[in-house]
């Protein structure tokens, strides 16, 4: 048997006829003929043809003759140095291969035991799951790709490894002044929306109730019914005083992928939006198609929510990210028969209140309250004043911007106070959770009696205090008797709005467009939707991913 | 599957190594390698793996028949047929879309453009199989009578998808008989880790800077809208470094893995950026490709033996083929013409003049022209390529420099310096200087082991951030 693995085949001297380049055209190179030196030492060398011979120890002399055949010139030069010796080679093999095998075994065991990571708190997403096998996914390559993605995405200790990575890449250089450019930041061209060129179409709101109140149980798919109730039509466009957003003279600095400015309780992190007019138009077109599919009986609203950077951007960073107000105007201008909702002005009126988290990329419930008010007015539904809500407070809300800023101390030392509001008639609200295919009920974890609030969420998870995680369809029955059924396709910004709508619609279906596995138009018809709202952080809902999701779930 | 991937490093490779070394006989080891190679390829191309198998069967029988026919007209015919098949497959997958699009635009036709995804590595393994059949035809290598051994040569996963383009003659012996020494394994492991580090630590980091400076194909090179003069030059140099570390990193991993299994591939890169002329650059860059073209195109065409004019024509033919090999896109054509023209000028008179200047001037000349070449290679769209050239000569939309360019420079200054330094034979020189005695060599070696471990761990951690991270040369 051949046990030649460590057999210490003697490194040969460079045999001239084995030089690679000339060989193929100058002489037949195939079988290596022994050179004179080879023949000389043939007696004592371990014959490569003879595989049955026992292992010969790798001798000291062998190390002294370090040049292998077919070395490029540089390598020969390099090997002119004294070889490191067998003991170092063994050490190298044991250490490096040992590390690879050890990590491989640990990962394998952890996979088998199900100890892989499942969620990423800092990226606020569910990590990849092990792909389901099917022949079609195998032949399309999705299955194998899924395994590779799963393997990398769910590495245990992901969060701390990412923290290490950011401090490692910090070492690549130094920053002059406070400016720091991160690869996720892009230079942008600022576009200005010209509302003179656009004829604002008035969209009328159909305030008729849903045809069936127990829609989800009884309505058949695709059932269209004639409205018998008279519909009141009112323009949803009204003149409003424009609030000027004051200039923020703070010096902002770029940390990680976010801008940070201020000190103490004024420290604020900002995430930029890169939505441009082109993306905005694509988003508007995507929503327009829903309106075409759903027809007049359903009011469709598009409400891209501004990020805090729309209000608090320090003036030295003004050109980072695109102007969100202009982009929302552009989106609204491109909508056809869809009600566009721009809440920038309403939020600007309340800029000095705590409407956005300083340490998280989300808005705070108070901001969501003011923004939702704009929506409620457009939809012509009741919207109780804030005093109709019980105020609850959680301290120590340190959100995602801590991670995004590469763990900035200023952010860490000044967490937000998280204030949220529960309607006083919350005990008349009930929620049912479904999976993303609307097939079976899902059990939420740790909700209050209504099912809407997760009071136990703390620290970095404060924003999950309503509706919990995103990957569910939530059906909410409310005390409101107007028989209107609202379907919301949202990202996490939408979660904060829902608690303020429990007195505005009889029924609300909250769906996350990122995790929705069935046809959305059929779904709307099935549940008797009268009002369909697309809402979410503008930077996500108007991104390529957001737009393609909205297009996909309409036709999937 | 790709090498710079946690699944490969911590599942596929250890499993393959374990099974390989648990089997003792070369015959069985070859079976292990074939099995893993096919899984490796099918991982990314579950359907096109059958094209690979079909191609290997056809080439196997063709070579047998050619060897039997011994140089007569039948051999010629067979040779022609098999070449047509091999290049035809490559053409269908790689170029047909491009040709249809261009035909449509030239002649106002509307032939539907077939949507074919390029099977990874097809350019590489097609050239490998071709070289085998041609060598058999020329009688330079004995024909391989066992199909599985030929399949092993064609599908061997270390070099399957992104080179180096290994000649059959290089590893023909080792398919049957190979010995693996301690040094082979040790050097192989070091080489794999070195390649991984080149790709993950250096190339990936540089690529993010380039994207910040230039934008990328999928965003329409957005950042070119306000690029600066300094930024353009910096970016062009970075693109060169990026391609070098990306591709040579892959070659290192391939060579290292081959070595652990007992195969000795030829070097693919020899510190290309220490070149003093463009001619020398191409002797040091992607050597397996340039020698392939030299041996199978340039020399058969007559090389330099048929006079200056013929030589110039031959150079231009080889260069149009080289650029065409890189991809069906007009910028590759320009890139090929650029280097073809430079090589011609050097051949005709410039080399002699250069030799009279000092080495610094030569080096500067070569590096600047190569950097411009990589700029052409990077921009797949003409508008941005135009902006690139304008900015190079001073007409940049963002002015000479700006805050963002400066920050990108200072924030990555150590990375940049390290990348430049390591693209020269600095470490071999240091090693030579230090390792003068046994004990110092041992100390240096021990330090090297620690470096290996650090590079391995850092690269692995950096890989956690990227869920998709293909090697550049995959598209070829």
- Crossing angle (nearest 10°) for helices B403-411 and B413-422: 60
Decide which of B131, B156, B178 is a domain's last residue: B178
pLDDT given at position B194: 94
Q: Is the pTM of this model over 0.80?
A: no
Q: Taking 70 as the threshold, does the pLDDT of residue A338 lie above it?
A: yes
Q: Let me know whether A202 and A164 are in one domain.
A: no
Give me A177's structure tokens. Answer: 């002044």
Q: Are residues A79 and A128 in the same domain?
A: no
The arithmetic mean of pLDDT across residues B42-65, rounded, is 87
Whole-number Å distance between alpha carbons of A476 and A505: 10
- Cβ B340 vs Cβ B316: under 8 Å: yes
Nearest CA in chain B to A87: B442
Q: Inter-chain contact B179–A4, Cβ cutoff 8 Å? A: yes
CA angle centred on B222, ends B221 and B227, rounded to 5° = 90
Residues of A in contact with B442 (CB under 8 A): 84-85, 87-88
pLDDT for residue A344? 92
In chain B, what residues touch A59 (CB-CB under 8 Å)?
A: none
According to DSSP, the β-strands at A441-442 and A430-434 are antiparallel
Quick: pLDDT tens for B287-335.
Answer: 998 899 888 988 888 877 878 888 888 888 888 888 888 877 778 888 8
Phi, psi angles (nearest 5°) of residue A304: -75, 125
Distance between CA atoms of residues A422 and A404, nearest Å: 30
- List chain A residues with CB under 8 Å of B449: 88, 91-92, 95-96
- Quote the crossing angle between the two packed helices A158-170 and B438-465, to the nearest 10°: 120
Q: Quick one: A148 and A262 in the same domain?
A: no
Q: How far is B48 from chain A (nearest CA, A)?
A: 10
pLDDT band at A121; cut points 50, 70, 90: low
Q: Cα distance from A426 to chain B (closest Cα, Å)?
A: 42
Query: Who contacts A376 (Cβ-Cβ below 8 Å, separation ≥6)?
Result: A382, A383, A500, A501, A504
Residue A341 lies in a domain: yes
Tell whether B172 and B233 lie within a shared domain. no
Confidence of residue A122 (pLDDT cuts 50, 70, 90): low
Q: Give chain B's largest Cα–Cα span.
A: 74
**Mean of the pLDDT values across residues A497-516?**
91
Residue A289, both tokens: 């198609």
What confidence score (pLDDT) does residue B245 get? Answer: 93
Q: Which of B151, B178, B205 is a domain's end point?
A: B178
Q: Which of these is catalytic: B264, B286, B326, B363?
A: B326
In this structure, the number of other CB atoms found within 10 A of the CB of residue B405 comes to: 25
In the block, tokens 């140089």 appear at B71
Report the range out of A501-515, B67-81, B433-447 with the highest average pLDDT. A501-515
Same domain? B168 vs B229: no
Q: Which two tokens stand for residue A16?
A: 């001239």
Calculate mean pLDDT across residues A6-29.
40
Residues A251 and A368 in one domain: yes
Number of inter-chain CB pairs under 8 A, A vs B: 272
Do A122 and A162 fall within a single domain? yes
B189 vs A58, A93, A189: nearest CB: A93
Q: Taken in order A416, A421, A427, A432, is the CA torsion positive or negative? A: negative
Given a contact cutoff of 8 angstroms between Cβ atoms, the answer to whether A349 and A216 are in contact is: no
Q: Are residues B146 and B214 in the same domain?
A: no
Q: Which domain holds residue B43?
A: 6-178
Question: Is the pLDDT score of B108 beyond 60?
Answer: yes
CA B204 to centroid of chain Cα atoms: 16
Kindly determine whether residue A165 and residue B462, on different chains, have CB atoms separated by under 8 Å.
Answer: yes
Sign for the CA dihedral angle at B308, B309, B314, B317 comes to: positive
Element (H, E) at A39: helix A36-41
CA atoms within 13 A on the CB side of B136: 29
Does B190 contact A87 at a Cβ distance shorter than 8 Å? no
Q: Are A181 and B11 an interchain contact pair (Cβ–Cβ within 8 Å)?
A: no
| Spatial distance between the Cα atoms of A154 and B291, rounded to a whole number of angstroms | 43
pLDDT, position A188: 56
Average pLDDT of A455-483?
Answer: 84
Task: Give alpha helix (H) positions in A380-502.
Answer: 401-404, 409-413, 492-495
| Span B4-25, pLDDT tens digits | 888 999 999 999 999 999 988 8
Residues in chain B: 476
Q: Which residue of A has its CA nearest to B409?
A: A173
Whether residue B103 is found in the same domain as residue B216: no
**Cα–Cα dist A161/A168, whole Å:** 10
* A9 in a structural domain: no
Q: Does B351 map to a domain?
A: no
Spatial contact of A35 and A17, defined as CB atoms under 8 Å apart: yes
Query: Does position A61 have pLDDT exceeding 60, yes or no?
Result: no
Instruction: Tell me, yes or no, whether A1 lies in a domain.
Output: no
Is the model's pLDDT at B451 over the cut of 90?
A: yes
- Chain B residues in contact with A86 (beta carbon < 8 A): 182
Among residues A371, A332, A365, the alpha carbon closest in space to that of A349 is found at A371
B326 is catalytic: yes
A473 has which bridge partners?
A: A434
Which residue has tokens 């031959």?
B314
HEC profile of chain B: CCCCCHHHHHHHHHHHHHHHHHCCCHHHHHHHHHHHHHHHHHHHCCCCHHHHHHHHHHHHHHHHHHHHHCCCHHHHHHHHHHHHHHHHHHHHHHCHHHHHHHHHHHHCCCCCCCCCCCCCCHHHHHHHHHHHHHHHHCCCCCCCCCHHHHHHHHHCHHHHCCCCCCCHHHHHHHHHCCCCCHHHHHHHHHHHHHHHHHHHHHHHHHHHHHHHHHCCHHHCCHHHHHCCHHHHHHHHHHHHHHHHHHHHHHHHHHHHHHHHHCCCCCCCCCCHHHCCCHHHHHHHCCHHHHHHHHHHHHCCCCCCCCCHHHHHHHHHHHHHHHHHHHCCCHHHHHHHHHHHHHHHHHHHHHHHHHHHCCHHHHHHHHHHHHHHHHHHHHCCCHHHHHHHHHHHCCCCCCCCCCHHHHHHHHHCHHHHHHHHHHCCCHHHHHHHHHCCCHHHHHHHHHHHHHHHHHHHHHHHHHHHHCCCCCCHHHHC
Q: Identify the band that residue A252 occupies on the pLDDT scale cut at 50, 70 and 90.
A: confident
| A437 and A536 part of one domain | yes
Q: In 3D, which of B269, A451, B56, B69 has the Cα closest to residue B48? A: B56
pLDDT tens profile A62-109: 333 333 444 444 444 444 566 777 888 888 999 999 999 999 999 889
Query: Quick one: B116 and B24 in the same domain?
Result: yes
Average pLDDT over residues B129-135: 91
Of A97, A374, A32, A90, residue with least CA distance to A237: A374
Answer yes or no: do A1 and B24 touch at CB < 8 A.
yes
Query: Residue A170: closest CA among chain B residues belongs to which residue?
Result: B411
CA dihedral of residues A99, A102, A106, A109 (deg, nearest 10): 150
Which backbone phi and psi does A418 adopt, to 5 degrees?
-100, 110
Within a domain: B350:
no
- Considering the domain architecture, whether residues A520 and A402 belong to the same structural domain is answered as yes
Same domain, A335 and A483: yes
- Would you state the pLDDT for residue A488? 94
Split at pLDDT 50, 70, 90, the class of A275 is: confident
Q: Would you state the pLDDT for residue A295?
A: 87
Q: Distance between CA atoms of B472 and B246, rounded to whole angstroms? A: 7
| Mean pLDDT of the B155-180 span | 85
- Chain B residues inside the 8 Å CB shell of A60: none
Number of domains in chain A: 3
More confident residue, A200 or B196: B196
**Percent of chain A predicted with pLDDT > 90:** 23
In a domain, B420, yes or no: yes
Among A449-463, B90-104, B210-224, the range of highest mean pLDDT: A449-463
* A94 occurs within a structural domain: no
Query: Are the Cβ atoms of B264 and A85 closer than 8 angstroms?
Result: no
Per-residue pLDDT at B261 exceeds 80: yes
Residue A132's pLDDT is: 84
Contact check, Cβ <8 Å, A164/B448: no
Domain coverage including residue A265: 195-555
Quote the CA–CA distance of A437 and A520 in Å, as a whole number.
10
**Do A439 and A506 fall within a single domain?**
yes
Element of type H or E holding A259: strand A258-261
β-strands A531-537, A485-490 pairing: parallel
Q: What is the pLDDT of residues B35-44, one digit of tens each?
A: 999 999 888 8
Task: Look at residue B163 in the predicted model and tell me its pLDDT.
Answer: 73
Computed from CA positions of residues B202, B469, A552, A369, in that sequence, does the dihedral angle turn out positive or negative? negative
Q: What mean pLDDT, rounded, does chain B reach?
A: 85
Query: Is B344 part of any domain?
Result: no
Same domain, B468 and B407: yes
């Amino acid at each position: 048997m051949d046990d030649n693995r460590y057999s210490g085949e003697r490194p040969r001297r460079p045999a001239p006829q084995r030089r690679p380049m000339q060989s193929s055209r100058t002489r037949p190179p195939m079988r290596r003929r022994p050179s004179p030196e080879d023949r000389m030492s043939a007696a004592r060398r371990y014959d490569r043809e003879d595989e049955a011979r026992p292992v010969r120890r790798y001798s000291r002399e062998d190390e002294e003759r370090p040049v292998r055949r077919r070395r490029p010139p540089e390598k020969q030069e390099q090997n002119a140095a004294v070889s490191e010796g067998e003991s170092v080679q063994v050490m190298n093999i044991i250490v490096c291969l040992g590390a690879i095998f050890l990590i491989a075994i640990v990962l394998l065991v952890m996979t088998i035991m199900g100890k892989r990571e499942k969620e990423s708190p800092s990226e606020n997403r569910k990590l990849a799951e092990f792909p389901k096998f099917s022949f079609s996914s195998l032949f399309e390559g999705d299955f194998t790709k899924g395994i590779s993605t799963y393997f990398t995405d769910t590495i245990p200790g992901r969060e701390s490894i990412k923290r290490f990575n950011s401090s490692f890449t910090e070492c690549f250089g130094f920053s002059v002044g406070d400016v720091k450019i991160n690869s996720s930041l892009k230079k942008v061209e600022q576009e200005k929306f010209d509302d003179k060129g656009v004829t604002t179409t008035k969209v009328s709101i159909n305030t008729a109730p849903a045809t069936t109140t127990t829609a989800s149980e009884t309505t058949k798919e695709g059932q269209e019914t004639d409205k018998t109730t008279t519909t009141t039509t009112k323009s949803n466009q009204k003149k409003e005083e424009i609030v000027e957003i004051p200039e923020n003279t703070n010096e902002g600095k770029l940390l990680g992928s976010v801008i940070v400015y201020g000190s103490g309780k004024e420290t604020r992190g900002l995430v930029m939006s890169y939505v441009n007019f082109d993306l905005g138009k694509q988003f508007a077109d995507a929503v327009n198609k829903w309106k075409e599919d759903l027809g007049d009986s359903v009011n469709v609203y598009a409400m891209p929510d501004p990020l805090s950077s729309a209000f608090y951007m320090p003036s030295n960073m003004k050109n980072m990210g695109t102007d969100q107000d202009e982009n929302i105007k552009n989106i609204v201008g491109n909508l056809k028969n869809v009600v566009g909702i721009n809440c920038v002005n309403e939020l600007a009126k309340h800029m000095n209140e705590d409407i956005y988290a300083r340490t998280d990329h989300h808005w705070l419930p108070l901001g969501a309250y003011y923004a939702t008010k704009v929506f409620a007015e457009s939809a012509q539904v009741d919207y109780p004043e804030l005093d109709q809500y019980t105020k609850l407070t959680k301290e120590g809300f340190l959100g995602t911007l801590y991670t995004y800023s590469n763990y900035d101390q200023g952010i860490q030392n000044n967490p937000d106070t998280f204030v949220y509001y529960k309607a006083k008639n919350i005990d008349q609200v009930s929620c049912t959770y479904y999976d993303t295919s609307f097939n079976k009920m899902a059990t939420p974890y740790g909700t209050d009696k209504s099912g809407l609030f997760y009071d136990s969420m703390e620290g970095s998870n404060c924003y999950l205090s309503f509706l919990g995680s995103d990957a569910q369809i939530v059906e909410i029955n409310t005390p409101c008797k107007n028989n209107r059924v609202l379907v919301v396709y949202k990202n996490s910004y939408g979660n904060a709005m829902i608690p303020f709508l429990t007195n505005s619609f009889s029924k609300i279906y909250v769906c996350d467009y990122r995790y929705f596995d069935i046809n959305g138009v059929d779904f709307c018809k099935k549940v008797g939707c009268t009002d369909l709202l697309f809402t979410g952080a503008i930077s996500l809902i108007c991104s390529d991913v957001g737009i393609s999701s909205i297009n996909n779930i309409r036709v999937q | 599957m790709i090498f710079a991937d946690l699944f490969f490093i911590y599942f596929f490779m250890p499993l393959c190594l374990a099974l390989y070394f648990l089997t003792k006989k070369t015959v069985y080891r070859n079976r292990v390698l074939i099995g893993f190679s096919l899984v490796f390829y099918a991982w990314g191309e579950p359907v096109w793996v059958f094209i690979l198998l079909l191609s290997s069967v056809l080439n196997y029988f063709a070579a047998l028949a050619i060897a039997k026919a011994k140089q007569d007209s039948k051999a010629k015919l067979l040779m022609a047929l098999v070449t047509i098949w091999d290049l035809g497959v490559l053409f269908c997958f790689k170029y047909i879309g491009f040709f249809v699009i261009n035909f449509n635009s030239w002649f106002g036709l509307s032939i539907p453009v077939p949507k074919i995804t390029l099977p990874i590595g097809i350019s590489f393994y097609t050239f490998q199989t071709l070289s085998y059949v041609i060598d058999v035809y020329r009688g330079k290598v004995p024909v391989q009578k066992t199909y599985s051994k030929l399949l092993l040569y064609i599908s061997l996963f270390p070099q399957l998808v992104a080179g180096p383009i290994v000649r059959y003659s290089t590893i023909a012996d080792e398919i049957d008989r190979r010995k693996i020494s301690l040094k082979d394994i040790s050097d192989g492991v070091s080489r794999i880790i070195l390649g991984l580090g080149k790709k993950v630590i250096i190339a990936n980091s540089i690529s993010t800077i380039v994207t910040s400076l230039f934008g990328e194909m999928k965003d329409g090179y957005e950042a070119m809208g306000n690029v600066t003069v300094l930024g353009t030059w910096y970016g062009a140099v970075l693109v060169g470094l990026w391609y070098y570390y990306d591709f040579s990193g892959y070659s290192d991993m391939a060579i290292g893995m081959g070595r652990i299994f007992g195969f000795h591939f030829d070097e693919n890169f020899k510190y290309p950026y220490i070149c003093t002329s463009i001619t020398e650059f191409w002797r040091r860059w992607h050597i397996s490709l340039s020698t392939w073209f030299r041996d199978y195109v340039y020399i058969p065409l007559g090389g330099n033996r048929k006079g200056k004019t013929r030589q110039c024509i031959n150079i231009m033919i080889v260069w149009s083929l080289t650029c065409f090999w890189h991809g069906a896109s007009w910028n590759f054509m320009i890139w090929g013409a650029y280097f073809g023209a430079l090589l011609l000028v050097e051949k005709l008179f410039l080399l002699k003049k250069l030799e009279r200047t000092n080495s610094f001037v030569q080096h500067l000349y070569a590096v600047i022209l190569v950097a411009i070449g990589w700029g052409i290679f990077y921009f797949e769209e003409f508008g941005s390529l135009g902006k690139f050239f304008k900015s190079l000569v001073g007409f940049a939309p963002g002015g000479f420099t700006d805050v963002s360019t400066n920050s990108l420079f200072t924030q990555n200054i150590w990375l940049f310096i390290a990348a430049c330094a390591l693209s020269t034979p600095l470490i071999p020189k240091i090693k030579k200087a230090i390792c003068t005695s046994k004990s110092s060599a041992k100390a240096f070696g021990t330090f090297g082991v620690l470096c290996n471990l650090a590079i391995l761990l850092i690269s692995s951690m950096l890989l956690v951030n990227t869920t998709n991270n293909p090697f550049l040369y995959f598209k070829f």
